[in-house]
Amino acid sequence: MGIPFEIVHKIEYFESDMSGKLSLPMILNLAVLSSKTQSDHLGVGQEEHLSRGLGWVILQYDVHIKRRPTVNEVIRIETQASQYNPFFVHRPFVFFDEQNEEIIRVDSIWAMLDIDNRRMARIPQDIIDKYSAERVKQINHIPRPDKITTTDDIIEKNYHVRYLDIDTNQHVNNSKYFEWMQDVLDLDYLKHHEITNINIKYENEVRLGQEVISQVAIADNVTKHRIMVAAHTSAEAIFTWRSV
Amino acid sequence: MGIPFEIVHKIEYFESDMSGKLSLPMILNLAVLSSKTQSDHLGVGQEEHLSRGLGWVILQYDVHIKRRPTVNEVIRIETQASQYNPFFVHRPFVFFDEQNEEIIRVDSIWAMLDIDNRRMARIPQDIIDKYSAERVKQINHIPRPDKITTTDDIIEKNYHVRYLDIDTNQHVNNSKYFEWMQDVLDLDYLKHHEITNINIKYENEVRLGQEVISQVAIADNVTKHRIMVAAHTSAEAIFTWRSV
Q: What is the mean pLDDT of residues B162-190?
A: 93
Alpha carbon of residue B151 to chain centroid: 28
Task: Find out whether A83 and A139 touch, Cβ atoms under 8 Å.
Answer: yes
Q: Greater confidence, B79 or B169? A: B79
SS3 category, A109: strand
Residue A139 has a pLDDT of 94
Residue A48 has a pLDDT of 94
Residue B168 has a pLDDT of 81
Residue A61 has a pLDDT of 97
CA quadruple A122, A125, A126, A130: dihedral, nearest 10: 110
Domain residues for the domain of A60 are 5-135
Please state, in angstroms and as integers, the Cα–Cα distance from residue A210 to each residue in A57, A77, A225, B232, following that order: 20, 34, 19, 29
Determine, yes or no, domain membership for A222: yes
In a shared domain, residues B120 and B238: no
Residue B118 has a pLDDT of 87
Determine, yes or no, domain membership for B45: yes
Task: Find out whether B187 and A208 touch, Cβ atoms under 8 Å.
Answer: yes
Query: Which of chain B's residues have a Cβ under 8 Å away from the Cβ of A168?
Result: 13, 16, 18, 20
Q: What is the mean pLDDT of residues B9-16?
A: 97
Evaluate if residue B1 carries a pLDDT over 80.
no
What's the domain count of chain B? 2
Alpha carbon of residue B63 to chain centroid: 8
Mean model confidence pLDDT for chain B: 96
ipTM of the complex: 0.94
Q: Are B163 and A170 a contacting pair at CB < 8 A?
A: no
User: Any CB–CB contact under 8 A between B183 and chain A?
Assistant: yes
Q: Angle, nearest 10°, between helix axes A174-183 and A24-41?
A: 170
In a shared domain, residues B20 and B89: yes
Q: Return per-residue pLDDT of chain A as tens, 244 residues.
A: 799 999 999 999 999 999 999 999 999 999 999 999 999 999 999 999 999 999 999 999 999 999 999 999 999 999 999 999 999 999 999 999 999 999 999 999 999 999 889 899 999 999 999 999 999 999 998 999 999 999 999 999 999 999 999 988 788 999 999 999 999 999 999 999 999 999 999 999 999 889 999 999 999 999 999 999 999 999 999 999 999 9
User: Any CB–CB contact under 8 A between B208 and chain A?
Assistant: yes
Task: Find out whether A68 and A113 touch, Cβ atoms under 8 Å.
Answer: no
> Using CA atoms, how far apart are residues A96 and A76, in angstroms rounded to an integer?
5
Determine, yes or no, domain membership for B146: no
Q: Which H or E run contains B127?
A: helix B125-129
CATH number at residue B190: 3.10.129.10
Q: Are B209 and A187 a contacting pair at CB < 8 A?
A: yes
Determine, yes or no, domain membership for B226: yes
Determine, yes or no, domain membership for A184: yes
Residue B170 has a pLDDT of 82
Q: Which of A105, A99, A120, A46 is nearest to B71 (CA)?
A: A46
> Using CA atoms, how far apart are residues B196 and B200, in angstroms rounded to an integer?
13
Q: What is the mean pLDDT of residues B211-221?
A: 96
Residue A132 has a pLDDT of 96
Domain final residue pick, A135, A167, A188: A135
Would you call B38 exposed, middle or buried from its count of C-beta atoms within 10 A (0-12, 13-18, 19+)? buried
Please state, in angstroms and as integers, the Cα–Cα distance from residue A95 to each residue in A29, A72, A205, B166, B223, following that order: 13, 15, 28, 25, 43
Q: Which of B110-119, B161-170, B194-203 has the highest mean pLDDT?
A: B194-203
In a shared domain, residues B172 and B72: no
Q: Express the helix, strand and coil content of chain A in percent, nearest 5 each.
A: 20, 40, 35
In a shared domain, residues B160 and B131: no
> Using CA atoms, how far apart are residues B23 and B31, in angstroms rounded to an integer?
13
Residue A118 has a pLDDT of 87
In a shared domain, residues A126 and A14: yes
Query: Which of chain A's residues have a Cβ under 8 Å away from the Cβ of B190?
Result: 163
Q: What is the DSSP letter of B206?
A: -
Helix residue ranges, H only, chain A: 24-41, 46-51, 125-129, 174-183, 187-191
> Using CA atoms, how far apart are residues A119 and B128, in angstroms rounded to an integer?
58
In a shared domain, residues A80 and A17: yes
In a shared domain, residues B100 and B13: yes
Nearest CA in chain B to A165: B17
In a shared domain, residues B107 and B182: no
In a shared domain, residues B106 and B167: no
Alpha carbon of residue B143 to chain centroid: 15
> Using CA atoms, how far apart are residues B109 and B139, in angstroms rounded to an integer?
9
> Using CA atoms, how far apart are residues B139 and B154, in angstroms rounded to an integer?
34
User: Any CB–CB contact under 8 A between B150 and chain A?
Assistant: no
Q: Which of A150, A175, A151, A172 is nearest to A163 (CA)?
A: A172
In a shared domain, residues A116 and A62: yes
